[in-house]
Amino acid sequence: MKNPKFQIQELLGIGLTLVVLGIGLAYGLQVMGDVKTDMTTDSAEYNATGDAITGVAKIPEKLPTIATVIVAAVIIGILVTYLWARFK
């Protein structure tokens, strides 16, 4: 059995996905805020837009936790694979 080798390029896709997600959420929230200001305050659309902004804003709050879990999973995977190959 060959020793598994890991390269940093394998993690590039995960990192880029997190960056694109953060940028997309930031611009999305900005657009939603602009849409909300265009509506009158006594309409159902204004309330719906406000609720949507509140819901979408919770995703970036969790982004650091998601990134931490991904990094921990990668580190654990590397350690388990290395130890499995070493002591098998």
pLDDT in tens, 18-61: 888 888 888 888 888 888 888 887 888 888 888 988 888 888 88
Is 2 a member of any domain? Answer: no
Structural domain including 66 reads 10-87
Is 3 a member of any domain? Answer: no
Is 56 a member of any domain? Answer: yes
Q: CA 85 from chain center: how many Å?
A: 32
- H helices present in the chain, as ranges: 12-38, 44-87
For 25-51, give one letter per residue: b (16+ CB within 10 A) or e: eeebbeebeeebeeeeeeeeebeebee
Is 4 a member of any domain? Answer: no
pTM of the shown model: 0.62
Is 19 a member of any domain? Answer: yes
Distant-in-sequence contacts of 8-15, Cβ < 8 A, 24+ apart: 11/74, 14/70, 14/74
Is 1 a member of any domain? Answer: no
Q: Give the total number of structural domains in the chain.
A: 1
The pLDDT assigned to 8 comes to 67
